[in-house]
Structure 1
Amino acid sequence: MKILSNRGQAMPPSPIRKLAPFADQAKERGLHVYHLNIGQPDIKTPETFLQSIKNFNQPVLAYGPSAGLPSLRKKLAEYYNRFDINVTYENILVTTGGSEAIIFAMMAICDPGDEIIVPEPFYTNYNGFAVEAGVKIVPITSKIEDDFQLPPIESIAEKITDRTRGILICNPNNPTGYVYSRQELENLREIVLKHDLFLLSDEVYREFVYDGLTHTSILQLEGIEDRTIMMDSVSKRYSACGARIGMIVSKNQEVIEACLRFGQARLCPPTIEQIGTEAGIDTPQEYLDEVIAEYNERRNVMVNMLRQMPGVVAPMPKGAFYLVVKLPVDDADKFAQWLLTDFNVDNETVMIAPANGFYSTPGLGKDEVRIAYVLNVDDIKKSMNILARGLQAYPGRTI
């Protein structure tokens, strides 16, 4: 008897969370685990966000509009206009997290079996979203030796078939921290025009760029306004990962209307969290300035310590709060599990995410991990010391 659907069997486990049972067991043994595996910041959620939720006093928590609260959509349009992203609230659909935004976008432009080209390594859940949407992800490989910059545009063109519907990027990138340049985006613009494709961009980390760089949105590109779909979220910007408020932004109203129909099937995004988000947009810029400065310091401390470890290759990320690191180990999956099951320093250990799950091409990322610098500087220093000692003691070390 066939129990599961092909879709159910094809749905991949999350490399970010799949080692969670080993972390739980480590904690049960009395170990403290430093979580470097997941993008859950320890930054406080803005008081403006939380206070608005505390002040909610409606007698009935009713259904909201499927597209999201109009007042929030208008406030979001004002927010984007600050960055020369000229949209109106009609161009914005509120979703239940950025994840739903990506799934809706995939389903709006693709039929089952259609293809989307994605630079790898990419956010691992794109694999799961594609399975849910019946979409095939076609990877083009970015290399750690090149700091994960966009591969040559010719290599993208070679992947285009009659089933290709779009190109999806994450900018700034999760998991690599790479920030795409204006020129790279212009190159993508040309290939999108030439082959009549959509350009999709996950811009959840748009606020977090370093070293004087400026983030460029695909919605700032001219001549492809009807081909661009941007996905966003409040999870990272306001350290409100549990709020589950995302958005799709596009000037292609057919795309917005299709996504709205998907949204009607799930009724509406969560009301209270939308109220928090609307107030959160009014958070003073000083909050974000302090958060960016904090992440910049964490990044510098982590990368400098990683580069002191023999055999470790650690590019300097330019945005977000992740980096992909090459380790001198035989298998990053085994090493990450070993850290939780067989190793500790003074009853403390670290949890990291094996990077093979961030690739679509089999065999890639076997000796790489994604590390999130979401802990305070003192905890980063402690966790990096534990990682360094773990690398020295690991039986599968390769150098």
Structure 2
Amino acid sequence: MPEISLRAEQMPASPIRKLVPLADAARARGTKIYHLNIGQPDLPTPQVGLDALKHIDRKVLEYSPSDGYRSLREKLVSYYAQYQIKLTPEEIIVTTGGSEAVLFAFMSCLNPGDEIIVPEPAYANYMAFAISAGAVIRPVVSSIENGFALPPIEEFEKLINERTRGILICNPNNPTGYLYTRREMDRIRDMVQKYDLFLFSDEVYREFIYTGSPYISACHLEGIEQNVVLIDSVSKRYSECGIRIGALITKNKKLRNAVMKFCQARLSPPLLGQIVAEASIDAPRSYSTEVYEEYIERRKCLIDGLNRIPGVYSPIPMGAFYTVARLPVDDSDKFCAWCLSEFEYEGETVMLAPASGFYSDPECGRNEVRIAYVLKKEDLERALVILGKALEAYNSRK
């Protein structure tokens, strides 16, 4: 039998989805599962987006331009202007979700063997995209003890060598909810400028900042305009994960031309998704306000509840809708699997994402989990009760 590729062998399984078979088995047994493992919002998609989908009157569902419909890109220009990000439609390339934007950025900027520096814990699929491009992630590990603040710039500089091509950040951060300060962003800018690196900045959670601190985009940083690659998606802000619409944004014309070759090879981003996304930009301000206020309440509910469970600690996330919590267990992978395979409380259990999958070194985060607060408060409160019972039972085993 022919062997599969080394790239496929190296591709990590998703820490968010690898427990799905255990969850399916638990569900088949009749156990109710509270899904805290995945960033799938339960809040409704904007009605204007749903209406646009329902009222499509096209006779043919055709290919769109490889960089996306101009009408969508023009609307995105106005959207970004709200955040003092000044763009033209030509500087925006519509992609099949933020995932494709990251992949095409890596494929266009990195040669096999090139390295990118990533603060960790980090979104697990970055590793998968790097492997797809033949690139290597060099991690700089942050700590739960100081709320996952950016490590000292000196730690980044220790890793820079002739193979280093870029830095990747997620701001606000998935999985920690950390929000980079102006000082931290300025230090990143100075390093990017000093070593002439790409700055890949995933900013899909900009709507969800809870501290009153300003949102500092990589596009706000002066002097590195040609180095910045902004990654975006409508998945989270409009609860539209399934329409698979994202964007790759850069003022670097040479890079845009390179990315377009990959876009042309995959032909076009999703037609129906673009129709829904374009309509959703016109959602009333009340939609965004209600969503934001709901996440504020959920965050308080979850973090207060976690920190009341004996032995559990979570810093207060400043953005996004995740937190990384430390649990009183030796191995969160085993604990999360046990919750699905061997535990239930009154016919219910919880599904969490082991944090080890958000680090390059699987020995990191062994007693941490990522929790998404994408469920309504009543469900979060119940899930916290079940988590407390699960930890008590797990640690009392013989």
- TM above 0.5: yes
Give, in angstroms, the shift of residue 146 of structure 1: 1.0
Q: With structure 1 as the length reference, what TM-score do the two structures score? A: 0.98
Deviation string 1:183-225 (CA, Å, 9 cap, x unpaired) is: 1110000001110101110001010000212211100111110
Deviation string 1:114-133 (CA, Å, 9 cap, x unpaired) is: 01100000000111111111
How far, CA to CA, are the matches of 1:85 and 1:211 in structure 2?
Answer: 21
How far, CA to CA, are the matches of 1:155 and 1:362 in structure 2?
Answer: 20
Superposition map of 1:38-187 within 5 A: 38-187=38-187
Structure 2 counterpart of 1:31 = 31
Code of the aligned partner of 1:48 = V
Q: Secondary structure at the match of 2:226?
A: helix
How far, CA to CA, are the matches of 1:364 and 1:397 in structure 2?
Answer: 25
Deviation string 1:63-89 (CA, Å, 9 cap, x unpaired) is: 110000010011101110111101111
Deviation string 1:6-30 (CA, Å, 9 cap, x unpaired) is: 0010111001000000000000000
Give, in angstroms, the shift of residue 397 of structure 1: 8.1
Give, in angstroms, the shift of residue 175 of structure 1: 0.2
Across the aligned residues of Structure 1 and Structure 2, the Cα RMSD in angstroms comes to 1.1
Structure 2 counterpart of 1:223 = 223
Code of the aligned partner of 2:347 = N
Q: Secondary structure at the match of 1:269?
A: coil
Deviation string 1:358-390 (CA, Å, 9 cap, x unpaired) is: 001241011100000000000000000000111
Code of the aligned partner of 1:226 = Q
Code of the aligned partner of 2:349 = T
How far, CA to CA, are the matches of 1:216 and 1:289 in structure 2?
Answer: 20
* 1:86–1:102 distance in 2 versus 1, CA, 3 Å: same
> Is the contact made by 1:329 and 1:397 (CA closer than 8 Å) also made in structure 2?
no
Structure 2 counterpart of 1:199 = 199
How far, CA to CA, are the matches of 1:327 and 1:185 in structure 2?
Answer: 31
How far, CA to CA, are the matches of 1:330 and 1:145 in structure 2?
Answer: 17
Deviation string 1:124-167 (CA, Å, 9 cap, x unpaired) is: 01111111111100000010001001000111111101011100
Structure 2 counterpart of 1:282 = 282
Structure 1 counterpart of 2:18 = 18
Deviation string 1:231-276 (CA, Å, 9 cap, x unpaired) is: 0000001000001000001111111111111000000001111011
How far, CA to CA, are the matches of 1:284 and 1:203 in structure 2?
Answer: 22
> Is the contact made by 1:391 and 1:397 (CA closer than 8 Å) also made in structure 2?
no
How far, CA to CA, are the matches of 1:396 and 1:78 in structure 2?
Answer: 56
Q: Secondary structure at the match of 2:364?
A: coil
How far, CA to CA, are the matches of 2:396 and 2:170 in structure 1?
Answer: 33
How far, CA to CA, are the matches of 2:53 and 2:35 in structure 1?
Answer: 28
Q: Which runs of 4+ in 1 moved over 6 A?
A: none
Unaligned 5+ segments in structure 2 are none
How far, CA to CA, are the matches of 1:22 and 1:237 in structure 2?
Answer: 30
Structure 1 counterpart of 2:237 = 237
Unaligned 5+ segments in structure 1 are none
**Greater Cα shift, 171-180 or 211-220:** 211-220
Code of the aligned partner of 2:81 = N
Code of the aligned partner of 2:248 = I
> Is the contact made by 1:329 and 1:396 (CA closer than 8 Å) also made in structure 2?
no
Percentage of identical aligned residues: 55
